[in-house]
Structure 1
């Protein structure tokens, strides 16, 4: 299968964002991924998920405006949402609109953004990598309500979590979320391992079950 790569720069109220698209010749749907607060789209797990193009998924990795601007520290959550809420309509409308089903997701902070905005961007499902359930050592400061926004809206949610993630173990995440959420354990910590092949395997298996 041939895969065509392209890059789109998109204006948002938070600054310029950049979308890196990998479009296979036979399209099954789209997976749009955001990066974390401490890194970019070159994160090993996000790179690993580009392998979904082999199954016909158009994969988009989105660089948030703060990253495009060369800043080292992520902007506040509301600003991250603002950027994402401008990028998704630009990608899902017009002649080159992404095919559905539309799966939004990302790693860490990007996963939180995808959960918070799933309803607004009309995502068909959400794929969350390393969802930061709580700050390390502070389980009382749970962010489970953000992930529940997805299942409360009746949308499928998958969370792939490192077995030793200090932001929340797979067991913690499973207990905190709606039973409808699918939680998968992968080797490693918040960044998984240097070779996070399990992330692709779990994502592929879950996507195969979507309507």
Structure 2
């Protein structure tokens, strides 16, 4: 199901993969260089509904308009926040977990409190621009006051899983899971022990356990 949602920046679009008897809703945003069909986002939309999690993927207005250059962070946040009431209607009384890949993960972190999210899922969090570790965005990972899951590739030029683990430094509430051999797009080299299918399995299984496990946390 697709729903166009008006914002001050133009219409955004929600693509809903509904679970028959959902226990939670996972709302995901895309990155600056791609859309909702990215490997990890597509895997979650395909596999989580049958596990009891409704997945809602959001296309930012700039993407719906066919532009090639992403909007600035403030505009991304504004469109996300204007769309939040519609997502809340879809979720009803269910827990709402927010997240996304790359730039979408940053949006989810920055706005998690404003949308009253239960948790955050970050896929390929862009810890810093490639080759510029001094320009860290780590402070954004610290903004949520709720549980945060980070799935990060071992070859990600925006910050490897090891880089994120070092930055997090065992802070309570942030869990980092490495996707071995994966780059920023969650792609692995030919001959990788994990393989493309293994990446999809790892992403889907890890996010499922995290989201469904929220109800068992004290």
The TM-score, its normalising length taken from structure 2, stands at 0.88
Task: Note the C-alpha offset of 1:208.
Answer: 3.2
Task: Note the C-alpha offset of 1:44.
Answer: 1.1
C-alpha distance in 2, partners of 1:182/1:117?
19
Residue 127 of structure 2 corresponds to residue 136 of structure 1:
no
Residue 9 of structure 2 corresponds to residue 14 of structure 1:
yes
Match of 2:39 among 39, 44, 53: 44
Match of 1:146 among 140, 147, 153: 140
Match of 2:68 among 63, 68, 72: 72
Indicate how the Cα distance of structure 1 residues 160 and 136 shifts in structure 2: closer, same or farther if over 3 A, else same.
same
Unaligned residue ranges in structure 1 (runs of 5+): 1-5
Task: Note the C-alpha offset of 1:175.
Answer: 2.1
Between Structure 1 and Structure 2, which shows a larger proportion of strand residues?
1
Query: Contact (CA 8 Å) 1:30, 1:98: kept in 2 or not?
Result: no
Query: Contact (CA 8 Å) 2:26, 2:98: kept in 1 or not?
Result: yes
Deviates more, 1:190-199 or 1:51-60: 190-199
Task: Note the C-alpha offset of 1:205.
Answer: 2.3
The TM-score, its normalising length taken from structure 1, stands at 0.91
4+ runs deviating over 6 angstroms: none
Unaligned residue ranges in structure 2 (runs of 5+): 188-195
Task: Note the C-alpha offset of 1:52.
Answer: 0.8
Query: Contact (CA 8 Å) 2:23, 2:212: kept in 1 or not?
Result: no
C-alpha distance in 1, partners of 2:14/2:93?
16
